[in-house]
Amino acid sequence: MNSTIPVVEQLINKIKMMHPEQQQRLLEMIDDGSLVAAEEEIPSSDPQEGQRQHARKSYFMSVDYAVKDRCFRDFIKDISAGGVFIETHHLFPVGETISLSFMVPNYPVPVKITGRIARVSPAGLGIEFIKDNEELIRELKMIINSL
């Protein structure tokens, strides 16, 4: 962040650079209060780190995902048996359902799993896997432990 330019001016410049659909989504998130969760993610240290149930591992892999019948492709930054972090500039509300498809080593087909957006930060989305497929989550845990 450039400390010589006021924060509000920096925000306005960034918003002007966004696609109109992203601007509208940002406005809706501000209006409905779902952007409040992102405020916790702004500090460089993660205040929720000590509360994690599963250890995260760095994992750089492309991911195809869908939110509200719109498809996107970005990259996973890290993975755990409980979820993934996707680096993206797309904004979605916390709690939104997300369908993911990505490859993992030594697994013959793409992993297809449903999650929910657990946190939003300037760097991307924290996704928590929905526990509707315990067998797949057990397999993922074994694969992740071998990374």
The 10s digit of each residue's pLDDT in 32-89 is 655 544 444 433 334 444 455 667 788 889 999 999 999 999 999 999 888 999 999 9
Q: Domain locations in the chain?
A: 1-32, 37-145
pLDDT given at position 95: 94
Q: Which residue has the higher pLDDT, 10 or 93?
A: 93
- DSSP strand pairing (57-67 vs 97-102): antiparallel
Q: Against a cut of 0.85, is the pTM above it?
A: no
* Cα–Cα separations (whole angstroms), residue 38 to 41, 67, 91, 103, 141: 5, 18, 10, 28, 27
Token pair belonging to 8: 């509000």
Fold of 37-145: Thrombin, subunit H (2.40.10)
pLDDT given at position 101: 95
Q: Across-strand partners of 87?
A: 75, 124
For residue 100, count other CB atoms closer than 10 A to its CB.
20
pLDDT given at position 49: 44
